[in-house]
Chain A
Amino acid sequence: KQEVTQIPAALSVPEGENLVLNCSFTDSAIYNLQWFRQDPGKGLTSLLLIQSSQREQTSGRLNASLDKSSGRSTLYIAASQPGDSATYLCAVRRNTGGFKTIFGAGTRLFVKA
């Protein structure tokens, strides 16, 4: 059974700091891994998607890496801004005759101005 864990559960940093969010999963047979952000009471916004055959993806100040063998992914945010404050969710997708996505509990990030 696939389990997804995110550490830390919450993080508060001053503006401008670089930071790393961690995601670990128990079953390496994944289809892809997607990072999302969620603002309070809202839906999810896709940030980055890494295919199972890839090692990393970059978009602007965000960089996500994937190490399937160790069951880990990291989301690196450079030069954090107050607008980055949100909950960041890691989602592992499996294809077992149909897609199933398992989410971590998220990391709540607060960037102080």
Chain B
Amino acid sequence: KAGVTQTPRYLIKTRGQQVTLSCSPISGHRSVSWYQQTPGQGLQFLFEYFSETQRNKGNFPGRFSGRQFSNSRSEMNVSTLELGDSALYLCASSLGSSGGTDTQYFGPGTRLTVL
């Protein structure tokens, strides 16, 4: 079974631009979560989608948004990029079940550099 894939793997943008990152979950998984990882703040939760609905959101400004499609693939968008948005963006997928055994599987991440 293929793992979680993220595209692109590396991205360089300039301040003020916008960026879209993509995540394809493991087949059959309906929940996708996004995280930002930086050396200073560690791993921080951005948002979680299940069956095309955002179920939870972290403490990030409105410039960060996302969506999920009917095939469970997800995209996140960052508008008006700032230098502080430089980070590794990680996507995780899971079944999204409520039984307590819902394991998250992570993709390799997208390394975003804002100049």
| Chain A interface residues (CB < 8 Å from chain B) | 31-32, 34, 36, 41-46, 49, 51-53, 89, 91, 93, 95-106
The DSSP consensus for interface residues of chain A is strand
Instruction: Scan B51-66; emit 1 where CB is below 8 A from any A CB, else 0.
Output: 0001110100000000
Q: How many residues of B contact A (CB 8 A)?
A: 31
9 interchain residue pairs of minimum CB distance: A98-B55, A98-B56, A51-B100, A103-B43, A44-B106, A43-B106, A43-B108, A100-B56, A105-B42
B48 and A46: CB pair below 8 A?
Answer: no
Pick from B4, B44, B100, B106: contact of A32, CB below 8 A. Answer: B100
Q: Is the CB of B45 within 8 A of A100?
A: yes
What A residues does B107 contact at CB under 8 A? Answer: 43
Name the A residues within 8 Å of B104 (CB-CB).
Answer: 34, 46, 91, 93, 101
- In the bound complex, residues from chain B placing their C-beta under 8 Å from that of A104 are 42
Say yes or no: A46 contacts B56, CB within 8 Å: no
Known: A36-B106, A51-B101, A52-B100. A99 touches B48 (CB 8 A): yes
Most central of B42, B94, B107, B108 by chain A CB within 10 Å: B42
